[in-house]
Structure 1
């Protein structure tokens, strides 16, 4: 499981996918999120701007990312 360290209070879902290298561009992030391919804490998330906080877990394409402070 990869981790992303927060610089601020939160990171947006699209930014987290890019930071983890799971997508190349913001457009790619938008597409996979809107297609329902991304889970946040086990629930399908369709909002690219969803705010992720310390402890949140994102799953996409068999990869898991944990957000840490």
Structure 2
């Protein structure tokens, strides 16, 4: 499991996907979220503007990141 250090209150889900280099660009990030390919705290979430905060976990294609 990877860790992502959050500088601030939150990061939008699509921004996190880009910051982790799991997708190449914002349009791809939006697509994978819309297609239900991303899990937020163990549940598929379709919200592109989801605010990910400390203590949350995001999973994409077998990769997991914990927000610290």
Same-fold call, TM cutoff 0.5: yes
TM-score category of the 2 structures, normalised to the smaller one: over 0.9
Deviations 1:22-63 (A, max 9, x none): 001010100000000000000101011100110100000010
Provide the C-alpha distance between the structure 1 equivalents of 2:49 and 2:4, rounded to a whole number of angstroms. Answer: 16
- Residue 12 of structure 1 and its aligned partner are, at CA, apart by 0.6
TM-score with structure 2 setting the length: 0.96
The root-mean-square deviation of aligned C-alpha atoms, in Å, is 0.6
- Residue 3 of structure 1 and its aligned partner are, at CA, apart by 1.2
Runs of 4+ displaced beyond 4 Å: none
